[in-house]
Amino acid sequence: MKKLSTVIIILILEIVFHNMNYVNAQPDPKLDELNKVSDYKNNKGTMGNVMNLYTSPPVEGRGVINSRQFLSHDLIFPIEYKSYNEVKTELENTELANNYKDKKVDIFGVPYFYTCIIPKSEPDINQNFGGCCMYGGLTFNSSENERDKLITVQVTIDNRQSLGFTITTNKNMVTIQELDYKARHWLTKEKKLYEFDGSAFESGYIKFTEKNNTSFWFDLFPKKELVPFVPYK
């Protein structure tokens, strides 16, 4: 029988995270606190939606300004993505949305839903919703001439086997979402972190460590109750 493995992804960062007020420092989890792929599969869940989340191309934009707003905590941008021409991002609260409203921003994220934006005109039963929706992913616009910054990602498997790779960003201030996507995207393509029917691993977490040694982590796998998996904040 194949031994089930635990994977730990660690990013040690020399750059500034954006909106760190919304993330609390955490001690490392114990292994029995992590969600297990086998529990999720036993509950008739698949990793198809998770895999799609981290293999689909991200929404990206530089120096864009929102074109409109639907709710007080969201902003809608004229960004083309696949066959859509608008992207709506939902922020933590109204204050954060107002902070970015009508200003040039950079955007990076992955849609969690499609055909989710109400048309500009008042909708009727014959109109179709359009666009795609994502969470967060905004920073104030940075210079187009910023040099790429290399970030080393350390991967530990069962506290023994380890590997490393690099991801890049050309921003001085970056969102957790961007680095999380880039790390999981690489591991999904190269090490089968997510497959339709499961994973090459049983459990794991991704950990971010800042220069002041403050760290926080996210479980790599959904809770067994979240069947089917729908991307969430």
pLDDT digits (tens, 9 = 90+) for 190-228: 999 999 999 999 999 999 987 777 888 999 999 998 876
| Domain shared by 165 and 205, yes or no | yes
pLDDT tens for 27-51 read: 889 999 999 999 999 999 999 989 9
Task: Report the side by side order of strands in the sheet with 130-135.
Answer: 74-77, 87-90, 130-135, 113-117
The reply to whether 66 and 131 lie within a common domain is yes
Is 130 part of a structural domain of the chain? yes
Asked if residues 28 and 213 have their Cβ atoms less than 8 Å apart, the reply is no
Q: Which two structure tokens, joined as six digits, stand for 28?
A: 């490392």
Q: What distance in Å separates the CA atoms of residue 163 and residue 157, rounded to the nearest whole number? A: 9
Does 16 share its domain with 119? no
User: In this structure, are 91 and 32 located in the same domain?
Assistant: no
Co-location of 206 and 173 in the same domain:
yes
Distances (CA, A) of 23 to 107, 186, 230: 19, 24, 21
3-state secondary structure of 172: coil
Per the domain annotation, does 43 fall within a domain? yes
Q: Integer distance in angstroms from the first to the last C-alpha of the chain?
A: 36
> What pLDDT, in 10s, does the model give residues 146-158?
788 889 999 999 9
* Domains held by the chain: number: 2
Q: What pTM was computed for the model?
A: 0.86
Residues 6+ apart with CB under 8 A from 170: 142, 146, 147, 148, 149
